[in-house]
Amino acid sequence: GPVDIPRAIDNLAARGVDMLFTVGGDGTQRGAYALCREAARRGLALAVVGIPKTIDNDVAFVSRTFGFLTAVEEACKVITCAHTEAHSVRNGISIVKLMGREAGFIAASATIASQDVNFTLIPEVPFALDGEGGLLAALTRRMQARGHAVIVVAEGAGQDLLGGGEERDPSGNVKLGDIGLFLRDRIARHFRDAKIPIVIRYIDPSYIIRSVPADAEDSIMCDLFARNAVHAALAGKTGLVIGLMHDTFVHVPMEALAARRKRLDPAGEVWRAVLATTGQPARFA
């Protein structure tokens, strides 16, 4: 939630803290940048160094945040179960909603890793439900041909279909509509109107995909980020986040990071891999 910046700096100064490591995503690092500016305004010797930690992998200038691969691994386990459910009944459809408010990295990567997903929906790629080129028509063709389907949807996908407003939570994030439940109900109604019997399983693992110990690769990555952060702070540097680009740790000014957000590129290699894996069109329109 929101932080009283002057009060936080007062507290750090009173306790004699001269190094502050902020571990979190872009929201955390924007808060850290505000702390850094307030400390500089007061002439306080405070090194503020950010460490990018988020399962969403949406921090700019960081090719991979630690926590991401662990979440993808857990998401794959959920998808395996969803596929088993869909494949075990006639005309079974499993819908899995995964985290990803504004970026679809988890949904896309879990799709590629699992190879069991037929449709993937992410915030970066708008989609239509109705019409010959819409999702419902494609899903109908899939069911007629194969008799089962698995759909993975990032929580921030399709928000334009829900008619949501601009209401925000205490952290300043726009409150999302529930795209998973919306899809479940629309799909059920579509097949009911078409008089095609289906069995829908809706699975929302929510925080479970991140509520696990880090895997080995994330644990190693965490250690390397931490070492680089401590070295930067001991060298007297401040107002930076440890980045990772082309397998090299770099110092990213917090100001640059705060002004930019990382998103999955719909024209990039990862999304092309998703399309190849699922067989879905580039757009449902």
When pLDDT is averaged across residues 19-39 and rounded to a whole number, the result is: 92
What is the per-residue pLDDT across 231-244, written as a single tens digit (0 to 9) for each? Answer: 999 999 999 999 98
What is the per-residue pLDDT across 212-228, written as a single tens digit (0 to 9) for each? Answer: 999 999 999 999 999 99
Pairing of strands 240-245, 248-253: antiparallel
- Three-class SS state of 265: coil
Could you give the CA distance from residue 210 to residue 107 in angstroms, rounded to a whole number?
A: 14
pLDDT of residue 163: 80
Mean model confidence pLDDT for the chain: 93
pLDDT of residue 199: 97
For 39, counting Cβ atoms within 10 Å of its Cβ (0-12 exposed, 13-18 middle, 19+ buried), the class is: buried
pLDDT of residue 22: 95
What is the per-residue pLDDT across 32-44, written as a single tens digit (0 to 9) for each? Answer: 999 999 999 999 9
pLDDT of residue 76: 97
Cβ count near 152 (within 10 Å): 32
Q: Is 56 an active-site residue?
A: yes
Q: Bridge-partner residues for 58, per DSSP? A: none
pLDDT of residue 110: 98
pLDDT of residue 170: 61
pLDDT band (50, 70, 90) for residue 51: very high
Residue 168 Cα distances to 41, 46, 48, 55, 260, angstroms = 30, 32, 28, 21, 20
**Residue of 10, 18, 26, 56 marked catalytic:** 56
- Please, what are the domains in the chain? 5-65+214-258 (3.40.50.450), 68-212+265-278 (3.40.50.460)
What is the per-residue pLDDT across 134-176, written as a single tens digit (0 to 9) for each? Answer: 999 999 999 999 999 999 999 999 999 988 667 776 666 778 8
When pLDDT is averaged across residues 245-264 and rounded to a whole number, the result is: 89
pLDDT of residue 118: 98
What is the per-residue pLDDT across 58-87, written as a single tens digit (0 to 9) for each? Answer: 998 888 898 999 999 999 999 999 999 999
pLDDT at 27 over 90: no
